[in-house]
Amino acid sequence: MAGRRRVWSIGAVGLGLLLPLAGCGGTPADSVRTEVQHLLDRRSAALLGHDETAYGATGTRTEYTRLRALPLASWTYRVTAVRRTSSGATAEADLSYRVAGYDKAPVDARRTLTLGRTADGKWYVTADGPARDTGQQLWDQGPVTAFRGAHSLVLGTGRTSADLRRYAALADRAVPAVSRAWGSGWTRHVVVLVPRSLQGMARLLGSPAANYRGIAAVTTGEAGGSGNAPADRVVVNPDAYAILGDLGKQVVLTHETTHVATRAHTTAATPLWLSEGYADWIGYLGTGRRPAEVAPELTRAVQDGHPPTALPADKDFGFTSAPSELAQAYEGGWLACRMIADHWGTARLDAFYRAVGDHRKRAGAVENALEKVLGTTPGAFTEQWQQYVRAQLTRTE
């Protein structure tokens, strides 16, 4: 998520200095901040206690209505700043929350709350939204609907229970498929967010919608996480996802679930050709699809006499790349991982992935893992991959 940048603009010297330092009637700013913190503490307790009346006593009930289906284990605000306005105040706060059964550590979000004040001086919340330059949370887009599968929690806005059930069925098949290939040393469950549209997806990720057009889903999480972290979120682009066939939908969910499973071993040292290629390798396992079917863009390039000369670079995976170039990057990474599995075996492929991630830094990580795990060099590996690509994509059977 993009970090938040805030620049306070100080207007007239008298008013600009007075408002942050004092409340109406000379109330000290620290006192106002304390009052607002107590208000938000009561609001949080009412939400966790499913007490809509108590929640309504603290202000607008919009968030309560939108959040009632979300299984929460914790929900707290920490007020960081309060600015008085002509109609009340604006508070900046750090929100931390955990989804019960999924988040081992809180999800953190920066929020901006608009506050009003009653005639007898009591504060109340009139609005609660994402802070400047931060992504939305799912409930910012409307009431959250939840469906809990055997291995999944699917959360949506503007979605029916039947719709979410279909996503859960795909995720529930993906989790054991990933465990069979990667092993069971991960959480073995997945959280899927399904917004109403591509624009909703982009707002959750805090980026322009154009960055994700044609991208069916992305996974957010803490790279190289220790395990004491919020659960990764698979964020679906429903516009792109809807045009996929049944197999394509399953491959996408299995691919993204692989990212969840491998997160602790995916670090700054891991090149995208390996992390994306491995996720595609598991995604297509057992589908019976031939290489030319999985890699149509590279197939065309090879048959046109323009085979790849180097493994895909990280920049080739940018969402703003041309669609054909992005597809070739994914296909090239998939073929590299498939080649390792074919030539060295699946156990070596897994060991190679983990060995690269264990380096934490990019320099020397792949080279060292190639030598120690696969007994080869970068030059020899690239040449072997080039030969493999040509051989696999020129077959006619």
Contacts of 326 (CB under 8 A, 6+ apart): 316, 317, 318, 319
How much is the mean pLDDT over the chain? 91
pLDDT at residue 395 greater than cutoff 90? no
pLDDT at residue 4 greater than cutoff 60? no
| Per-residue pLDDT reduced to its tens digit, 206-257 | 999 999 988 999 999 876 655 667 889 999 999 999 999 999 999 999 999 9
Contacts of 109 (CB under 8 A, 6+ apart): 94, 95, 96, 97, 130, 134, 137
Q: Are 110 and 131 in contact (CB under 8 A)?
A: yes
* CATH code of the domain occupying 13-134: 3.10.450.50
Nearest partner of 205 among 276, 130, 134, judged by Cα:
134
Q: Output the pLDDT for position 81.
A: 97
Q: Output the pLDDT for position 7.
A: 26
The widest CA-to-CA distance across the chain, in whole angstroms, is: 84
Stronger pLDDT, 7 or 235, i.e. the higher one: 235
Stronger pLDDT, 297 or 20, i.e. the higher one: 297
Q: At 323, is the pLDDT very low, low, confident or very high (cuts 50, 70, 90)?
A: confident
Nearest partner of 86 among 12, 15, 32, judged by Cα:
15
- Please give the single-letter amino acid code of residue 202: A
% residues pLDDT > 90 (the chain): 85
The 10 Å Cβ neighbour count of residue 165 is 13
- CA angle 33-38-41, nearest 5°? 125
Of 12-21, 326-335, 352-361, 378-387, least confident by mean pLDDT is: 12-21
* CATH code of the domain occupying 136-264: 3.30.2010.30
Written as six digits, the tokens of 283 are: 């995604």
Distance of alpha carbon 261 from alpha carbon 296, whole angstroms = 27
Mean pLDDT of 114-122: 95
pLDDT at residue 384 greater than cutoff 70? yes
| Per-residue pLDDT reduced to its tens digit, 275-305 | 999 999 999 999 999 999 999 999 999 999 9
Q: Are 242 and 249 in contact (CB under 8 A)?
A: no
Task: Check residue 76 and give left, alpha or beta (phi > 0: left; psi -120 to 50: alpha).
Answer: beta
pLDDT at residue 353 greater than cutoff 70? yes
pTM: 0.89
Domain ranges of the chain: 13-134, 136-264, 267-397
Which single residue is written with the structure tokens 């792949």? 366
Q: Where are the alpha helices (DSSP H) in the chain?
A: 13-21, 29-48, 52-56, 62-67, 161-182, 198-205, 238-241, 246-262, 272-284, 291-294, 296-303, 323-344, 346-357, 365-369, 378-393
User: Which stretches of 39-189 are assigned E, i.e. beta strand?
Assistant: 72-84, 89-99, 107-117, 123-130, 144-148, 152-157
Distance of alpha carbon 250 from alpha carbon 94, whole angstroms = 36
